Structure 1
Amino acid sequence: MPVARDIMTASAECIGAEDSVLDAARKLTDLGVGALPICGTDDKLKGVLTDRDITVKVLGKGRDPQQTKAGELAQGEAVTIGADDSAHEIFTTMARHKVRRLPVIDGHRLVGMVALADVARALPDPQVGDLLEALSTD
């Protein structure tokens, strides 16, 4: 079975915790992705910022995306996966935490991102259905 480093998108780019949400939105657009890891000035992962976070937590609440810092949207400790963890472990972690994207860590270093679509391609068909069902329930 493939491991995270086999199916991830390598060299994920971070948005700085002190960067504005507007900068994050531009970076999401430029990279054509739906999520960015949030990294602090200490180069440690602080969380993940998604396009949905920007829509719901900033725009939907009337906050100014130019004045709101990306780090303000980080929620506790980021859920991650190890670079050598199996596709099954990624599946389990996504389902347990109800997330569709995971930062991939090698030691303490961010090495990539793995998305639901990556896992879907790596898992047998019945497990993909189970994962989608788990992510879709409240």
Structure 2
Amino acid sequence: MTTARDIMHSGCECLGINETLTNAARRMAELNIGAMPVCGGDNRLKGIITDRDIVVKAIAKGRNPAEVKAGDLIGEAAVWWVDVNTDVDEVLHQMAEHRIRRMPVLDNENLVGIISQADLAAKLPEDKVGELVEAISSTSH
């Protein structure tokens, strides 16, 4: 059985809930990534913000990214995640059902990795990845 641990990108960094969007954007640029998990003071996953979130929810609305905190963008939306031992078919199902492009992976409530569409494309058969991309792309966000 292939699990989330087998396909995840490990070593992902967490953005602090009180870090500014300017810092978030800088870290994303340095890491060459488009999204970062956001963790609270307890180091527990609280949400994910993307570079698009920064642009659409802050900059486009005239908000100063040096003053807006990462926690301001994540709101009260549910945070979807999977356990490291979750079967890859269930990971695909959850990502398609919730129409998400990145799935955090937790081990005993600690963030240990993230699964992106690119991770799936690199490690799974094309037909499985195609179904996920179609499910995500066919719906509006």
TM interval, shorter chain, is over 0.9
Residue in 2 that maps onto 1:98: 99
Residue in 2 that maps onto 1:20: 20
Residue in 1 that maps onto 2:56: 56
Looking at structure 2, the residues matched to 8 and 24 of structure 1 have their Cα atoms a distance apart, in angstroms, of 22
Identity %: 43
- Report the TM-score, using the length of structure 1 for normalisation: 0.94
| Post-superposition offset of 1:106 | 0.6
Q: Which amino acid aligns with 2:11?
A: S
Q: Which amino acid aligns with 2:85?
A: D
Gapped runs of 5+ residues in structure 2?
A: none
Gapped runs of 5+ residues in structure 1?
A: none
Residue in 2 that maps onto 1:2: 2
Residue in 2 that maps onto 1:87: 88
Q: Which amino acid aligns with 1:20?
A: T
Looking at structure 2, the residues matched to 113 and 137 of structure 1 have their Cα atoms a distance apart, in angstroms, of 23
Looking at structure 1, the residues matched to 65 and 18 of structure 2 have their Cα atoms a distance apart, in angstroms, of 12
Residue in 2 that maps onto 1:29: 29
- Report the TM-score, using the length of structure 2 for normalisation: 0.92
